[in-house]
Structures are given as structure tokens and as C-alpha cells.
Amino acid sequence: MHGTSLYEPSTGDWVLLIGSVQRRDGGVYECQISTTPPRSHFVSLHIIEPRTEILGGGDLHINTGSTINLTCLVLYHPHSPDVLTWLHQGKEIHYDSARGGVSVVTEAGEVTRSALLIQRATANDSGNYTCKPSGAEPATARVHILHELWVEFQRYEIMLWGTGGGCYEGHMTANGGRYAQLTAKMGLMVSVY
């Protein structure tokens, strides 16, 4: 053990000082008074290490053209980290790069919060993002950029077969690529989602 016991005359207390606390310092400590019989007081010491997490962690799925918003929390740090760096595929993200649209907002405090914002996501933005604060283990999240197939039907001519064996001519239009609506002559309407 690398601790020192000190007597505090003003209070009459004995104090155990442990410098450079490590995980192995956790456990039960006994303060024993040399009397007959000896008296003891037990204290449990739990070591809490700084922890880093990215909200929503693991795998994140983002639509092409959307804004990537990754939020990193640094918890249980004795003070705000001196440096917090964001990495993409192991390389530091530079906010003044030619890509543009990249910004970071960091709030220091008991819990340090850092938000990485990347506007207009493209396939090149896919991959691992790491939040790396000084004095704590890094956290990583994997971002997948979804390539949506936006098919716009512009007055697509079709033929509908009616229940009576008749044929109806109509057209198909799309609403934002989310659903297609089929409208035919004779007032027949069919929606395809």
C-alpha cells in the first residue's frame, strides 16, 4: 500500500491519505485503536474511474444528407478533461477542413458534454467515431450512412386491370419517395406504401 496515516490534533482523528489512487486500492480498510481489547472501525473504499460514453453508442444509422449529431459524455472525472479530441477512422477531425459543415460544442463541468455535428452526411462520413478525452478511456461509435433510393415517378403511365376485365389507364406519382399513390381514371385510387 502507498498510503500514509496522519494524526490531526485539532480533531483528534487519524487520517489515511492515499496518493495516486488506483483500482487496486479499493477494498475494506480497518482503523484499529490499540486498546484492550482492540477496537476497530471498517471502511469500504470504492474506486470509480472516469468513464466516457457516446449517447446511443454502438451502431448509429443516419440518412444521406442528414446531420450527424454525436454526443460524448465524460463521467466521474476529477475535473474537466484538459483536452477532448474527436477522431474519424483513427484520424483527428479538423473542424476547418475543406469538407466544411463540421462543428463541436463542448460544455465542461461535473459531467463534460461534447457534441460533434457533421452537416450533409455522405458515404465518406461512415465509419468509427471516437471521443478521446485526456485522463479517461475513449469511447467509439460506428456510423452507417444509409443510401436511400429516392425514385420519383413523374406521370408514369400504367395500365390497371379492373375486376370486370376492363383496362384502366392512369398514372403514378410519388410523395417525397415515402409512398407512391396510384390514381386511375374512373375514380379508382390505390395507395402503395
pLDDT in tens, 83-119: 999 999 999 998 888 889 999 999 998 899 999 999 9
Residues with Cβ within 8 Å of residue 70, at least 6 apart in sequence: 54, 55, 60, 86, 115, 116, 129, 131, 141, 143
Same domain flag for 15 and 77: no
Cα distance between residue 43 and residue 1, in whole Å: 16
3-state helix, strand, coil in the chain (%, to 5): 5, 55, 40
Same domain flag for 112 and 39: no
Same domain flag for 92 and 123: yes
Same domain flag for 58 and 26: no
pLDDT in tens, 155-174: 334 444 444 444 444 444 44
Same domain flag for 59 and 119: yes
pLDDT in tens, 46-73: 888 889 999 988 899 999 999 999 999 9
**Distance between the two ends of the chain, CA-based, in angstroms?**
68
Q: Among residues 84, 90, 72, which one has the least CA distance to residue 134?
A: 84
Same domain flag for 57 and 92: yes
Q: pLDDT value at position 4? A: 87
Same domain flag for 59 and 32: no
Q: Where in the sequence is the domain holding 106, given as residue range(s)?
A: 51-146
> What's the total number of domains in the chain?
3
Query: Would the pLDDT of 181 be above 80?
Result: no
In a domain, residue 130? The reply is: yes
pLDDT in tens, 127-154: 999 999 998 999 999 999 997 543 333 3
The CATH number for 25's domain is 2.60.40.10
Three-state secondary structure call for residue 14: strand
Same domain flag for 178 and 118: no
- Quick one: what percent of the chain has pLDDT higher than 70? 76
Same domain flag for 75 and 118: yes
In a domain, residue 151? The reply is: no
Same domain flag for 113 and 58: yes
Cα distance between residue 80 and residue 53, in whole Å: 15
CB 156 within 8 A of CB 171: yes
More confident residue, 20 or 180: 20
Picking from 16-25, 40-49, 84-93, which range would have the lowest pLDDT averaged per residue? 16-25
